[in-house]
Amino acid sequence: MLKLLIADDEPKIVRGLKKSLNWDEWNIQIAGEAQDGETAFELALEVKPDILFLDINMPFLNGLQLIRKLKEELPSSIIIIISGHDEFSYAQEALRLNVFEYLLKPVNPDDLKRTVTKAVNHLNESRRSNQFVQWMNDQLEENVDLVRNSFLCKWLNGQLDEEEIHKQLHYFRLDWEEVGIFVIKPMRIAVEGNIGETWEMDLLLFSMQNIIDEVLDTYDPRVVFRDERNHIVAIVPTNELESMYPLCEQFEEVIEKLTGKKIMIAKKVVEKPSTEIPVVYSISIQELSEQSLIMPVVMLAKRYIERYYYKQDLTLQEVAQEVNVSPSYLSRLLKEELGSSFIDYLTQVRIQYAIKFMENPSYKIYEVAEKVGYSTQHYFSTAFKKVVGMSPSNFVKEGAR
């Protein structure tokens, strides 16, 4: 029901307005009366009327002053001036304040009826419009993840132009400069973990997505979503690949603990997300496809080596024990699947990490050697030259040019 407030310092006028129409026909309730401007303002704030009849001249706070205050507090209320002043200056000021109508006393019943009808129609139309807008906002809020994920998938697949990408990233408040992207999927053959139960794929991916999102809770903004190929993709603001390694370890540990499943991860830093993300994503998908062709035992051994490469005493026996096979069997599998012996693959991994560390000029060569599992700088330099073709010091000099 619509609420009407009448503010006039003449009781006879108030009584006449109340009796002039059958307010129930318009679904209007007279919610209050006031004989001065201050009382009218306080009452209006309390009852929040849809329609106000206001006299221009009232004690304490005149009608024009009251309108100015009401427009700030109740902008959607309809204000109808009922005045005994037939002066152009009053009407002009009232129109400037965007009042709905200006009626002169004594009010003609037909004019009042016409004005009230117009006001009710305006309010009903406004309410329908507001309800539609609210419905649209509710629908968008309910489906924002679907809309966002649709955009992200099209972006990853290179289906959008740069202008549209920038517009959508801004809309979803994902204005990144540099990002880290993780592309994650369960291993091709399920390897029993702590739980040892069969998971339905949708449920497993849903659980993985939630786990990864929780691990990345401190990153803002971030997105974690499922792509069209059943990978979990996570994008976070970072410009350091080094900071992504411990996150990968957390993903692996928590997912295995809660689901009993092993995962594969491809990770990259992207300096120009809007244009480079599709290319990097495609490369990551290819890497995971190649990894999925490797036997699970080799994949687990490979991952263990890549996680603990920094241990000076890391041995084939330790890795074999971790993946529950004999050292000789693992050695043969590594040669067949990776084309490298255990020592050769461990060396490759250590040198790859060393190169990343050497990008940071604050690290001395002996410090890099220690960080990647070598007990002496000499031993590290020999291994580095064997893989890269030059000494670490020369490599640093070449990079500085």
Query: Residues with Cβ < 8 Å from 349, sequence gap 6 or more?
Result: 305, 306, 309
Structural domain contains residue 275:
yes
**Looking at the domain assignment, is residue 37 inside a domain?**
yes
Contacts of 29 (CB under 8 A, 6+ apart): 1, 2, 3, 4, 23
Domain end point (choices 246, 277, 292): 292
Q: Kindly state whether residue 224 falls inside one of the protein's structural domains.
A: yes
Q: Are 276 and 219 part of one and the same domain? A: yes
pLDDT of residue 339: 87
**For 220-272, what is each residue's pLDDT tens digit?**
889 999 998 889 999 999 888 878 888 988 998 899 888 888 888 999 999 88
Angle at 71 between CA 70 and CA 74, to 5 degrees: 70
pLDDT of 188: 62
Domain contains 139: no
Q: Which domain holds residue 270?
A: 157-292
Is the pLDDT reported for residue 99 higher than 50?
yes
Q: Report if residue 327 sits inside a domain.
A: yes
pLDDT at 33: 93
How many structural domains comprise the chain?
A: 3
Whole-angstrom CA distances from 82 to 32, 56, 267 are 16, 7, 71
Same domain, 34 and 81: yes
Q: What is the pLDDT of residue 195?
A: 41
Do 322 and 277 share a structural domain?
Answer: no
> Each residue of 186-227: pLDDT tens digit?
876 544 444 444 568 888 888 999 999 999 999 988 999 999
pLDDT at 58: 82
- Last residue of one domain, picked from the residues 292, 311, 326: 292
For residue 363, the domain's CATH number is 1.10.10.60
Q: How confident is the model at residue 290 (pLDDT cuts 50, 70, 90)?
A: confident
Other Cβ atoms less than 10 A from the Cβ of 61: the count is: 17
Cβ(305)–Cβ(369) below 8 Å: no
Cβ contacts of 130 within 8 Å, gap of 6 or more: none
Does 198 fall in a domain? yes
Residue at a domain's end among 245, 276, 292: 292
CATH number for the domain harbouring residue 226: 3.30.70.270
Q: How far apart are CA 231 and CA 181, in angstroms?
A: 12
Question: Are both 298 and 288 inside the same structural domain?
Answer: no
Same domain, 56 and 162: no
pLDDT band at 374 (very low <50, low <70, confident <90, very high): very high
Tell me the pLDDT band of 149, cut-offs 50, 70 and 90: confident
In this structure, the answer to whether residues 271 and 370 fall within a common structural domain is no
Banded pLDDT at 143 (limits 50, 70, 90): low
Place of tokens 């990345």: 216
Nearest to 214 by CA among 206, 336, 365, 145: 206
Same domain, 323 and 240: no
Give me the chain's average pLDDT, please: 86
Question: Do 65 and 79 belong to one domain?
Answer: yes
Strand 232-237 relative to strand 179-186, pairing: antiparallel
Residues 49-60 pLDDT 10s: 999 998 888 888
Looking at the structure, do residues 305 and 277 belong to the same domain, yes or no?
no
Q: What is the pLDDT of residue 130?
A: 76
Residues 302, 395, single domain; the answer is yes
